[in-house]
Amino acid sequence: MGPGQRVIVELSTLEKALSKTDFTAEKAPLQAIVRSLRPMRLKSLEDLDLNTRGRLITTMLRVQRQPKPPAPEAAPAEAAAPTPAEAPAAEATAPAEAAEGAAPAEGAAPAEGTAPTAPAVDPAREKFDAWTDVMFLVGQVWRAAGDGDRAEVAFSASGRQPGAEAEEPAAPARTEERRERTERRERPERGERRERPERGAAGERRERPERGERRDRPERGERGERPERRPMPELTGDWREQAKQLEAMGRTRDAGRMFERNNAFADAARLFEAGGDLKSALRNALAGSDNDTARRLVGTLPADQLAPTLEKAGAYELLMEHYVGKADFENVARLYERARQFDQAALAYERAGKLTLARKSYERSRDMASANRIRGLEVKSLVERGDRLGAATLLVAVGQRREAVEVLGTLPPPKAFHFMQRLNLEEEAKELAQRELARAEQEQKPAGRARWLELLGDVTAAAEAWEAAGRKDKALPLHEKLGNLARAAQLAEELQQRDKAIALYTQLGDEAGLERAKVLPEAPAVAPAPADPSDAGSEGEGGGEPPATPPAE
């Protein structure tokens, strides 16, 4: 069982004693908790796991809030009475002293005027001393858990401060018995230790190389004396008086915590703000429904702490006011989305310039008229940025094919044709190709006619048109595609493409053509014929495509 599990087990025992307000029974589990926490060497409560930390804080605060019993009246002989620290020693010596005296004879009458030997027990004194011990142990628990502030409060309530001579409380009897039983168990006998074999020549330890001289360290400057922490004086009275005493000592955060535990949120917010803990001040102002103070604190809190604090408190109206004041309409829209008010979220997104998110919110609110309006703005924005394919994609998604064709119509015809095919606008792309083919024939542009024939899939006519336009390099792959290898080999020979001609003649088995191809120069002697100058617009304007999808917002 780990230390955390042992703490939880002892907390259960402590809660049973706490339910009966039995201070004496609370001591043993508190001592066991201190012994479990000390080996963990915690620097703060955050080092504990979530379950152990939550149960420890809840139970210890309940123990610490137990009402203080009334102090017993001072007896005349109180000065001669042993202190709580000396009481165990006095009790130990009492039996020894009693043993030294002679026992009275059997049947002998007691001496006249003698008082009973058993001292009278004062229940008020016993209860008060037990409460003091419990508060002191609570302080030790807080100190072992790394919470020095709560430890000081508990030590002050007990009227005792732990010093260098303070020792760990004695273990309970049941723990000591358990430890003795464990030690009495017989350990399994170990077998005889085998001798280590001698190292051979290969296993001999090599001599270490000598180290160089160590450089002298620079002398460290004298450390200033650490200021001693003044012990907290004893707090008296009820929790309000104790909080006022803490505030008078300048411990405003401790006083604020005390007010917060007792649901006095207004005073807690004031003290936390005075102590510089603005997050806690805002939390208490929200808990106390002090909206004026909360609005004032909202502007002073860092942005990374503001939203979590307000959301945890459920103060969404204040958070909305803050975002509106900062003109942060995107976060305003997100708050409306969390509330499923999509129409208001769409308006906020539109005001923030997030058109895509605004359109989606309108669609979720079933306001299709506003969604179409925002879509029109999106299309206009994409066209202005040069992304006509993205604009056409939006239009096609809602079935506006004609508007998509109009958006693509201003592009060069070959580019518009390819974009239409990508958007599955096959009929519109075919109509565009036929119009451009007719225009090329009317304007007598053989290269343009050949291109559109090829785009329309008429490969045979396209190959002939490319040859008529003087572009044998364009006709060659088309003839090869059609399976007209003889004409493709002849064109390769005419273009002096040596490797291509050899491959085609070899495939045909034409020995004469193969011999002619082998004597061709390795590099073409003449550059390919340029395109028809009248068709420069068809070919030269189609380079480079804009991104196909709208940028994410």
Query: Does the structure show a pLDDT above 50 at 151?
Result: yes
Task: Tell me what pLDDT residue 224 has.
Answer: 62
Query: Does the structure show a pLDDT above 80 at 289?
Result: no
Task: Tell me what pLDDT residue 172 has.
Answer: 47
Q: How far apart are CA 535 and CA 391, in angstroms?
A: 28
Of the candidates 155, 132, 13, 20, the residue with the CA atom closest to the CA atom of residue 71:
132
Q: How far apart are CA 29 and CA 16, in angstroms?
A: 10
CB 384 within 8 Å of CB 403 = no
Task: Tell me what pLDDT residue 182 has.
Answer: 57
Q: How confident is the model at residue 532 (pLDDT cuts 50, 70, 90)?
A: very low
Between the alpha carbon of residue 37 and those of residues 18, 140, 164, 216, the distances in Å are 20, 10, 19, 42
Task: Tell me what pLDDT residue 416 has.
Answer: 85
Tell me: the pLDDT tens digits for 248-263? 888 888 888 888 888 8
Task: Tell me what pLDDT residue 169 has.
Answer: 44
Task: Tell me what pLDDT residue 75 has.
Answer: 47
**Average of pLDDT values for 264-289?**
81
Task: Tell me what pLDDT residue 137 has.
Answer: 92
Tell me: the pLDDT tens digits for 376-410? 888 888 888 888 888 888 888 878 888 888 888 88
Query: Does the structure show a pLDDT above 60 at 135?
Result: yes
Task: Tell me what pLDDT residue 231 has.
Answer: 59
Of the candidates 132, 140, 133, 170, the residue with the CA atom closest to the CA atom of residue 38:
140
Q: How confident is the model at residue 417 (pLDDT cuts 50, 70, 90)?
A: confident
pTM score of the predicted model: 0.39
Other C-beta atoms lying within 10 Å of the C-beta of residue 263: 10
Between the alpha carbon of residue 298 and those of residues 22, 266, 291, 316, the distances in Å are 46, 16, 10, 12
Place of tokens 């005493």: 245
Of the given ranges (149-163, 221-235, 292-306), which has the lowest mean pLDDT?
221-235
Task: Tell me what pLDDT residue 141 has.
Answer: 92
Q: Taken in order 176, 178, 184, 187, is the CA torsion positive or negative?
A: negative
Q: How confident is the model at residue 229 (pLDDT cuts 50, 70, 90)?
A: low
For the chain, give the mean pLDDT. 74
Q: How far apart are CA 75 and CA 72, in angstroms?
A: 9
Of the given ranges (11-20, 229-238, 470-479), which has the lowest mean pLDDT?
229-238
Of the given ranges (197-211, 282-296, 453-467, 512-526), which has the lowest mean pLDDT?
197-211
Q: pLDDT exceeding 70 applies to what percent of the chain?
A: 73
Query: Does the structure show a pLDDT above 50 at 539?
Result: no
Task: Tell me what pLDDT residue 177 has.
Answer: 53
Q: pLDDT exceeding 90 applies to what percent of the chain?
A: 3
**Average of pLDDT values for 178-202?**
55
Query: Does the structure show a pLDDT above 70 at 100?
Result: no
Other C-beta atoms lying within 10 Å of the C-beta of residue 281: 26
Query: Does the structure show a pLDDT above 70 at 205?
Result: no
- More confidently predicted of 24 and 328: 24
Q: How far apart are CA 227 and CA 539, in angstroms?
A: 85
Task: Tell me what pLDDT residue 540 has.
Answer: 35
Of the given ranges (198-207, 298-307, 341-350, 469-478), which has the lowest mean pLDDT?
198-207
CB 415 within 8 Å of CB 541 = yes
Query: Does the structure show a pLDDT above 50 at 116?
Result: no
- More confidently predicted of 166 and 398: 398
**Average of pLDDT values for 101-106?**
39
Q: How confident is the model at residue 412 (pLDDT cuts 50, 70, 90)?
A: confident
